[in-house]
Amino acid sequence: MTTIEIVEVSPRDGLQNEKTLLSTGDKLALIGKAIDAGVRRMEVASFVNPKKVPQMADAEAVMAGLPARDDVTYVGLALNERGFERAVAADVDEVNFAVMASDTFNRRNQGADAFETARQLTTIADNAQGKIPIGVTIGTAFGCPFEGEVSLYRVLSLVEAIAATLPREIALADTIGVATPRDVAERVGAVRDRYPDVPIRCHFHNTRNTGIANAWAAIEAGATTLDSSLGGVGGCPFAPAATGNIATEDLVYMLDRAGIATGLDLGACIDTAQWLEGKLGHAIPGQVMKAGGFPAPA
């Protein structure tokens, strides 16, 4: 049976764009429910400037409150050396280091050109000496809100710089939800062909309703891991009109029906998405959480 790994990103990407600040306790409750639903790899915090992203100001407190689980990989997001050091000090199991494919977005997000950030990553990876797994996400890999089209050449140049740091995985992220399945097939396929030994993760936002189709295209093109968030919450505070990630329960539904194992329980995902909607106090975008699975459970 084919297997696809899901990285739950609701505690980070999901909450960072919400006006409602969830308490540390509620974040930990969300994380606990996700684990109970079968999540085994989860982005739980972002080690960014708390003045810029106040929703993530309690990153260290979240890390300190996590259940000790050898079978769960807790991932922390970092955008620079300082963030990386904070993540390691907070005892994350893995760092997700993000670089934006477009210079304009990268300057707004992390104050440097993309290849400057890639050079920082080289230093970080050299210093870490493989002691902590580093996955690298290339944001705006399918388009930038400020520069428009991002060329495949640009993405592959950045992939080349990143691959040299020997990351555990490279992710292509559609930060602003502009990708279509054809773009995904092309870009994931191009990375896979050049770096067949580097696992590929994809991160999609459903801003233009192509998210779940993109997820399918990514799997067909050889991605082994997908990011998603319960209830489809999420968005980047630095991307205009940002909307949520693909919904975990929608993804699990599609993969269940295709005979692709994720280890996640659809019913528990739906329950958790509904719980999260209650905590946020507004409707959230997930669709299967409203319609239910099929066939209906006996």
What is the C-alpha separation between 289 and 253, in angstroms, rounded? Answer: 10
Distance in Å, CB of 129 to Zn ion, minimum = 29
Q: Is 236 a catalytic residue?
A: yes
Beta carbon of residue 30, minimum distance to Zn ion (angstroms, whole number): 17
Residue number with the smallest Cβ distance to Zn ion: 13
Helix (H) or strand (E) holding 192: helix 181-194
Shortest distance, CB of residue 197 to Zn ion, whole angstroms? 26
Helix, strand, coil percent values for the chain (each to nearest 5): 45, 15, 40
Residue found under tokens 């699975």: 293
Residue closer to Zn ion by CB (options 110, 268) is: 110
Residue 100 CB, shortest distance to Zn ion, in Å, is 11
Catalytic residue of the set 144, 202, 236, 269: 236
Is the Cβ of residue 13 or residue 250 nearer to Zn ion in the bound state? Answer: 13
DSSP string, 47-79: -S-TTT-GGGTTHHHHHHHS---TT-EEEEEES
Q: Which two tokens stand for residue 153?
A: 């050449």
**Rounded (5°) CA angle 159-236-229:** 90
Got the DSSP string for 11-42? IIIIHHT-SSPPPHHHHHHHHHHHHHTT--EE
Footprint of Zn ion (CB under 5 A): 13
Residue 216 or 238 having the CB closest to Zn ion: 238
Nearer to Zn ion, 8 or 13 (CB): 13
- Give me the active site residues, please: 236
